[in-house]
Structure formats: structure tokens, C-alpha cells
Structure 1
Amino acid sequence: MSDRTPVPEFDASSLIADCVAKASVGSGSQLVLAYSGGVDSEVLAQGLASFARHNPQYRYLLVHVHHGLSSNADAWVRHCQSQAAKYQLPIEIRQVKVKMGPRLSIEAQARSARYEAITSLMAPGDALLTAHHLDDQLETVLLALKRGLGPKGLSAMGEVQAFDNNKQLLRPLLSISREQIESLATSQAIAHIEDESNQDTKYDRNFLRLEIIPKLKARWSSIAVTASRSAALCAQQQAVIDEEVSKRLPSYIVPVSQGNGTALELSDLREQGVNWQLLLLRGYIEYLGFAPLSQVQLEQVLYQLLDARVDAKVELRLGDTLVRRFRGRAYLSSVEAEHAERINAPILEWDLTPLLSPDCDGAGGVVQIESSEAELRLSVSEIKSLQVRMLSQLDRVRLPNADERVTVRFAIAGSTRCSPHNRQKGRELKKLWQESGIPPWEREKVPFIFYNNVLVCAVGYWIEKAFVCRDASAGLNFKIVTRNSSFPFTHHQP
């Protein structure tokens, strides 16, 4: 007779039902399973199939991501497609390219690519199911300790979490051990794949899973449960901190002058104790959607922002996050976004002929119109275009004469004399920038429209008085348009 303790059984379908109820997933929403075909996701997929038979009010989708990192990847795709047919659940296969490099973590890059591929198939209100379990939680806590993270990091994973534009993340198996999952798969003969990379201990999670956690469990059999309890306590404490930060933070955030986005007011931050300074700075970084900084990095940023000389140029690059200081305010932007925003050329010629009315007389006279849906766009960077529409309302400049060449120019001389329509007197450009509080790195991104060599307008800021349409005649309205991108933009709330 065996003295082995029986492994507790569980019902994945019931666990899914509990999570869906806790998350209040609305009828008609889609339940999306991150489906690798490994034993964990296979057990969850079977449970989802059972749940789906009794809950037709939801839509269902399995998503398998082909990373192209294994010679077996194509076979894994065929396995997942075959299993999905048995479960009678729809499946999407997404092939991604994982960024590789000497300073890049393959694990992190694969996870990021997988996340983007899956969430691209989701809409607000949908829920993503992942097969994370109790032992994964222990691994996450140990990795957080290794990285020196605080309560937020140690709170690890939650069973139900909101994420990414009103979506829900559900982890129905978070209270279930790896042993329970493998036992159920064996007893029910659930077919699954084995990823050979899971045996490679050069990856931190595999090292913990294969070499460290078995020894910990041999000494303390309930360590996964107690670590999960500690994580829950950290999450509870972090929730209180987050609630308080969310109440305080808005009073430190100010809109940027003449544009979209925000900055952090440093004079107010300086009045707080150092612990609250760190919490508020961390909260602002999270609010903008940037990757969290380590405690050492936060302290370095805080020192530079608050203690560097008033006339010192503060510009710190930390991963993809760029932190600058200007006139007592902190500005955060993405290095990748700034690279994509670099202008194509300092001077761009623009042919507006396709937009102009055939009734133009060639000397500025035009037919009266209410509005026009027609528009032209000129690409000025990888992610930004300059849009022009012909309107008889809103702020607009007069149409160019037949002999006037239209150009778009950037970074024009600060000594350029300007006569903005919204000022009584003209001034040099550099004085206008200083007056408006526009940071230096933003000034070079502003497009200026010229007719021949005469300044017409600074897009988004002013129109030169001599070129303003003051009656109901048609004119041109210029606007910068940003195309969709996967990274946060300068000053923009995500």
C-alpha cells in the first residue's frame, strides 16, 4: 500500500466560472485563452471547452503564438489546431518575430511579442485567460526578491486584474499547484506538448523551477502556498498605497503649454518627504505607461530633478524612458518615440494643387464653402503627418497664390521675426518660445508653413497676421496627426 499523499483534484471549468464572476465579464464579451499547448494551458483549454458548453453568452478564442524560436514550432501549431478542433473552440495562430540582441532578454522579448499578438485580437470588455499556477506565483515572488522589488513587485500576480484599456486578465489556476495540474493531465490523458527550452537553466525561471524550488519544497512543503499568501498581503498593502497616490498625484500634474500631454510640477514635489517624492514619481511614471524604474534609478532621477543646479541641463536616459527637466517641471518621453518623431528633412515642398478648388482665380479669390472632407497629408516623420484641409471655418490661412511655392520647414532661426494673430505686437521666435514655456526639444518638431520665403504659420501655435482669413472665404487649416504606435508618445497619457 502506497503512503503517497493523494494529489487534490480540481475542476478547471468551475475555477474559470469563479474568475469570470469575480471579474464581472459582460455577456457578449470574448474570453481569450493564451494557448501554448503545454500541460498548463492544455488543462485550462479543456476546462474552457467545458465552460463554453454551458455559457453560450460569451465568445471564445484560443490564441497560439508562433515565436519561431524552436524547430518544433510548426509541429506545436498543428497540435494546437488539432486540440482546438476537439474542444470545438475557434483558434488563431499568430506568428511573431522576437527581437534578439546582446543586451535583450529573450524571455522578456518573447513575452512582449506574445502579449502584443494576443491583445491585438481583443476589444475593451474582453478577458484574457492565462494558465499561471501556484508554482508560477512562487517563481515570480523569488524573481522579485532577486531584483530587489518592493511591495508592488512582491505582490506578484493576481487572480483577476484589469489591464490595457478596459480589459480583464484572469488566472483561474493560480491556487492550483503544478503537481495537481500534471496529475489531472495524466489521469485524463490530456495530450500536450513539451517545450525543450523549459529544460534550459540559463533562463531564470527554469533555473528556479528545476534546481531551487524542488529543494525549497523538500524542506518546506507548503512554501508555494505561504509565498502566495505573502504576495496577497503585499498586494493588499500596495492597493492602499496606490489608492493614496491616485488621490495625491493629480495635484502635481500640469498640462504642457500649447499642446497635449502633461508634466510633473517639481516645486510642489520638493515640499514632500523623500518617501512620498519617490512614490509620486513612481506613480507618475506608471500613469504615463512607462516601464517601472528600480529604486536606485528612481533615487537618481529624483536627485537630478530636485537637486541639480537651476541652470543645469537635466536629461537622463533609463532604458526607453527619457527624463528631462525644464523650468521646474519634469517631462518624460520614449526614446523610441523620439527617434520615430525625427523629421524627414528640414525643408519639405508641398504641392497643394489636388486640394485647391477649381474655382480659385489664382490670386487668392475662392468660392465660398462651408467645409470640405477632402484633405492632403504630408509625412514629416515615421509616425507623424501634416494634415491640411480647405475650410471656411476655424483658424485658417489664405490660399496660396498661383506663383507662391508652399514649403514646410523645421527648426527655423530663433531670430525670425513673427507676427502671431493672437498677439498685438510681433516678436522674435526665440522670445515667443520662451514666453510660451515650450521646451527646447519640442521646438524643433514644430512645422512652419511658408509661401515662397514668407512665414505663414507655426502649425498648432499661430497664424501670421497677414495670412489670416478674417471673412467667410475658404482657407487652409493645418494640423499634426500622429499615427498609431506601440510605445508612449512624448508627454502623452496612454
Structure 2
Amino acid sequence: MYLLYGKLKKKINIYKNNSVLISYSGGIDSTVLLYKLMKLKKYYSFINIRVLHVNYNVFKHSLNTVKHCIQLCKKYNLELIIKHVKKISVKKNFEEVARVIRYNIIKKILLPKEVVITAHHLNDQCETFFLSLKRGSGPTGLSGMKLYTFLDKNKLLIRPFLNVSKKQIERFAFKKKLIWITDNSNNNIYYDRNFIRKEIIPVLEKRWPSFLNTCSRSSAICSDYVKIANNIAGQFLRKNMLLDSILNFFNMLFLDISIRKVIVRNWILKNNNKIPSYSIIEKVLKEVINSKKDANPKIIINKSEIRRYKRYIYIVPVLPSISSLILIWHNTNYPLELPYHFGFLENNSYGMKIPIPKKNDIINIRFILSGRISIFGRSGSRQVKKIFQEFNIPPWYRNRIPFVFYNSDFIAAPGIFLANNSATKKNKKSWFISWNSFLINNM
């Protein structure tokens, strides 16, 4: 239990964090943690402590717990933040849903340079290890919780009791005659974590008294291997990403399959902020990267598509088809905004030079181009598909390009190519049009 006084003070000094936010449930673990924090404050008065209690409105004792939190914080003269959540309907996965809600709340209310502290302990670490085994997790999941971690880039979370057992916490609480709220739902083995806590760990501890510590050691070993693998993957990604969403996978083919999986996992995580499942990683390697050269493979994950074109794999947002959409550009003195954040078209001095429309021509923008066309600077006509290939435009980008038409005559794909037809040859006067888009600048 000494850890809180030593390493926590060190961390606070390193990050110059004068404020601490404790996630307080009202139970024995967080009650001991709060007591320890108050003792710490006596030695280091500069520390400001705020208390967060999240009421999920699920259990009968919820309001009693809220009252307990209010009374305790009044006693300690602490700022208490209570967040009430609409009743969660999820049953089997309640703890996971509650955890996500709780951390989202923490991120919103956290002050600049404020440290988050939770009362997770050694038993929690072991339970997490078993839950990861049940899910079939790899080394990352088996690494468990970290003593120090970041919710976001600069939002430090500390779990000072992670090497302290539940029995140690209980002995301390009884010795100091602390008062806490007992959550009877923790005895309900319908929940997976409670089942592990009540039915599995006691049996293992009885057989092997040091099991909790050895389990924690296994998590630490997994964590070390994950750090090494992530470091290798990070070096590869820094050298082979054009953008976060575009990865040159060709150089990855010379690496061991296990490293390829880590690279793909970290790349998807970087773009989706969510660790992909093992099956998704397998699909990306087999169905996207290793598909035939002339294939157009696609895997949907969350609200994104993972695609391949030549030596690159892409993560692009899933969008509805707009092939039938036609936009009319009534006044070219003003930019024309395109749908789905495709950017905008603008008449300016630095765009593509194209013939000016006739007085009665209707300037319309379409998102589909087919058949055979002739483009400026090339002899003869070609299939549109072949032209796209020459300009290295991936298939899924092609229906996001704003093609400029005068009436029914194709004029230009701004910034890409200009038509060479009767409509562009007749009028020698010109104007300039640019497509201002992150999409076109990075194709």
C-alpha cells in the first residue's frame, strides 16, 4: 500500500499535475483509495482532489450510494461531480458498457493536466486476464491493465493499487474502520467477471496461494512482447504510410506473418481508434492484400472500407452511391460545395484552364463517367476505365470525382484531365476551375 505515497507523488511532479480526479464508486476499493489520497494531501497540500461518481440507475441501492458519496465528500470538503446515466438495458455485457460510459465522462470533465486515479487492484488484473482468455485475445488483451496509461494524448490515468490484492485492501479498510457501500450485484455470477471472481479465483488461490502474483507476472511478460512488436510495427508504418489512411503494403510481404498481423492491427487502430478483431486482421491479409491483381477487394469495418489498389491498401469511409446525383452550378462567382466533404469547386486563377461555357450552357456536376472519351494531349479515344488506370485513380475514388459538364457534354475532371471534344474545341476563351479537396490532393 506504500505505492500511493511514493510513485504517485513522483508522477504528479513529472507531469506537473496539481489536480487529481478519482473515480469513486462508493465501494471498499475506491473508499480506501480516497482515504489514501486524503492522507497524501496532508503531506502535499498543493494537490487538489476532485471526486467523480457515476450513477447508472441500474441497482436498487444506487440512490443510497449517491447519498453516501455526498456525505463523504462533505466530510472531506471535496468537490463531488455526480453524473446520472439513463438506465442501461444491456445485461450480459453491462460492466463493459458502463466502463465505456464512465471513461467518456472522465474525458469530458477532466481538467488540463489533471490526473485520473482508479482503484483497480491485483484481483481485477487477474479477472481481466481470464476475460481476455475467454475472448481468445492475443498478447495485447492478455497484457491487462497498466499502472500508468493515457486515455488520450495528455490525459494520464494511474492505477496505484494494481499490485495490491483485494485481501490487503479489505484488511486495511477494517483496520481503519472505514465506511463504504456494499454492492450486492457483485455476488451475481450471471456476470462473467463476478463468476471469475467468486467461482474461479478462490479455487486457484486455494491450490496455488501465489496465483494472483504469477498471473500478474504473465500479463507483464505479454506487455513486454507487445511493446517490442508495436515498436517494430511503428517503425514500418512511419516509413510506409503516405497518409494515415494509405499504407504501402508491398514491403510488408518480406516480413514474417506475425509482424504483418501486428502492422495491420496497428494501422487499423490508428485510423479507427478501436482494436480490430483477429478475424478482421486475417481477412485483410488474405482477402485484400493477397487477392488477385485485377481484383477489387473490400472489407467493411465499423463505418469504413479497407480496399487495395496496386501496392497500397486504403481505409476510406463508407458512402452511399451518388452516381445519379447532378449538381447545378448556377453562379460560378461563388464556390460550389460538394456532398460528403468532397470539398468544393471554385473559379479562380490557379485552377485548371478549361473552355468557358456559352451563355445558355448549364454547368452541371456529375459523379459518374463511362464509355469512351478523348482527353486533351492524347490521340484517339479510350475507355474511361483505362484513363482512370493511367492516372492511378483507385476504383472507389472514381465516383467521388466531380465531373464538369456543359449541358450533356463532358468537359473536365478538375485537376485530373480535360476532355478533347467538339464542346471544348469550339470556344477559345477560357476560365479556371479548381477542385479544392483533401481527396484529390492525396490520390
- TM-score class normalised by the smaller sequence: 0.7 to 0.9
The 1:274–1:385 alpha-carbon spacing in structure 2 relative to 1, beyond 3 Å, is closer
1:133-282 alignment, distance < 5 Å: 133-251=121-239, 253-255=240-242, 261-282=244-265
1:401-440 alignment, distance < 5 Å: 409=366, 411-415=367-371, 430=385, 433-440=388-395
Q: Secondary structure at the match of 2:22?
A: strand
The 1:433–1:196 alpha-carbon spacing in structure 2 relative to 1, beyond 3 Å, is farther
CA contact (8 A) 2:12 2:18 kept: no
Amino acid paired to 2:134: K
The 1:463–1:93 alpha-carbon spacing in structure 2 relative to 1, beyond 3 Å, is farther
Shift of 1:222: 1.7
Amino acid paired to 2:308: R
Match of 1:39 among 28, 36, 54: 28
What are the Cα deviations for residues 356-380 of structure 1, in whole angstroms up to 9, with x where unaligned?
xxxxxxxx7x8xxxxxxxx999694
1:406-485 alignment, distance < 5 Å: 409=366, 411-415=367-371, 430=385, 433-446=388-401
Shift of 1:35: 2.3
What are the Cα deviations for residues 236-292 of structure 1, in whole angstroms up to 9, with x where unaligned?
2332232233223333x332xxxx643232322222232332232233233334433
Shift of 1:17: 4.8
What are the Cα deviations for residues 307-335 of structure 1, in whole angstroms up to 9, with x where unaligned?
333233422345667433332422235xx
Shift of 1:130: 1.5
Amino acid paired to 1:254: M
For the pair 1:70 / 2:59, whether they are aligned, the reply is yes
The 1:386–1:176 alpha-carbon spacing in structure 2 relative to 1, beyond 3 Å, is same
Amino acid paired to 1:278: K
What are the Cα deviations for residues 385-442 of structure 1, in whole angstroms up to 9, with x where unaligned?
8568x99786599999998888765x333359697xxx86698865554344333334
CA contact (8 A) 1:31 1:128 kept: yes
Shift of 1:77: 3.2
CA contact (8 A) 1:396 1:468 kept: no
Match of 1:286 among 252, 255, 269: 269
Match of 2:100 among 99, 109, 112: 112
The 1:403–1:282 alpha-carbon spacing in structure 2 relative to 1, beyond 3 Å, is same
Structure 1: segments with no counterpart, 5+ residues: 1-9, 354-363, 367-374, 482-490
Please give the alpha-carbon distance, in whole angstroms, between the structure 1 residues aligned to 2:336 and 2:79. Answer: 40
Please give the alpha-carbon distance, in whole angstroms, between the structure 1 residues aligned to 2:330 and 2:224. Answer: 59
What are the Cα deviations for residues 186-231 of structure 1, in whole angstroms up to 9, with x where unaligned?
3333332333432221221110001111111112222111211222
The 1:310–1:392 alpha-carbon spacing in structure 2 relative to 1, beyond 3 Å, is closer
Q: Secondary structure at the match of 1:120?
A: helix
Query: Which stretch shows the higher mean deviation, 125-134 or 84-93?
Result: 84-93
Please give the alpha-carbon distance, in whole angstroms, between the structure 1 residues aligned to 2:409 and 2:377. Answer: 20
For the pair 1:26 / 2:15, whether they are aligned, the reply is yes
For the pair 1:331 / 2:320, whether they are aligned, the reply is no
Please give the alpha-carbon distance, in whole angstroms, between the structure 2 residues aligned to 1:69 and 1:442. Answer: 47
Please give the alpha-carbon distance, in whole angstroms, between the structure 1 residues aligned to 2:416 and 2:46. Answer: 51
Please give the alpha-carbon distance, in whole angstroms, between the structure 2 residues aligned to 1:209 and 1:349. Answer: 61
Please give the alpha-carbon distance, in whole angstroms, between the structure 1 residues aligned to 2:86 and 2:384. Answer: 46
The 1:194–1:385 alpha-carbon spacing in structure 2 relative to 1, beyond 3 Å, is farther
CA contact (8 A) 1:19 1:171 kept: no
CA contact (8 A) 1:282 1:292 kept: yes
The 1:28–1:212 alpha-carbon spacing in structure 2 relative to 1, beyond 3 Å, is closer
Please give the alpha-carbon distance, in whole angstroms, between the structure 2 residues aligned to 1:244 and 1:480. Answer: 30
Shift of 1:101: 6.8
Q: Secondary structure at the match of 2:306?
A: strand
Q: Secondary structure at the match of 2:109?
A: coil
For the pair 1:309 / 2:292, whether they are aligned, the reply is yes
| Structure ranking higher in helix proportion | 2
The 1:442–1:385 alpha-carbon spacing in structure 2 relative to 1, beyond 3 Å, is closer
Please give the alpha-carbon distance, in whole angstroms, between the structure 2 residues aligned to 1:67 and 1:352. Answer: 53
The 1:458–1:181 alpha-carbon spacing in structure 2 relative to 1, beyond 3 Å, is farther
The 1:412–1:154 alpha-carbon spacing in structure 2 relative to 1, beyond 3 Å, is same
Shift of 1:155: 2.0
Query: Which stretch shows the higher mean deviation, 77-86 or 176-185?
Result: 77-86
The 1:424–1:280 alpha-carbon spacing in structure 2 relative to 1, beyond 3 Å, is same
Counterpart residue number, 1:92 = 81
What are the Cα deviations for residues 439-473 of structure 1, in whole angstroms up to 9, with x where unaligned?
33344345567787787986887899999866xxx
Please give the alpha-carbon distance, in whole angstroms, between the structure 2 residues aligned to 1:16 and 1:440. Answer: 59
1:376-415 alignment, distance < 5 Å: 380-381=339-340, 384=341, 395=351, 409=366, 411-415=367-371
The 1:429–1:70 alpha-carbon spacing in structure 2 relative to 1, beyond 3 Å, is farther
User: What is the identity percentage for the equivalent residue pairs of Structure 1 and Structure 2?
Assistant: 27
Amino acid paired to 2:231: E
Q: Secondary structure at the match of 1:63?
A: strand
Shift of 1:57: 4.6
Q: Secondary structure at the match of 1:413?
A: coil
Please give the alpha-carbon distance, in whole angstroms, between the structure 2 residues aligned to 1:329 and 1:476. Answer: 27
Larger RCO: 1 or 2 (CA < 8 Å, sep 6+):
1
The 1:480–1:136 alpha-carbon spacing in structure 2 relative to 1, beyond 3 Å, is same
CA contact (8 A) 1:49 1:89 kept: no
CA contact (8 A) 2:329 2:336 kept: no
CA contact (8 A) 2:335 2:347 kept: no
CA contact (8 A) 1:33 1:62 kept: yes
Counterpart residue number, 1:356 = none
Please give the alpha-carbon distance, in whole angstroms, between the structure 2 residues aligned to 1:25 and 1:352. Answer: 59
Shift of 1:15: 0.7
Amino acid paired to 2:255: Q
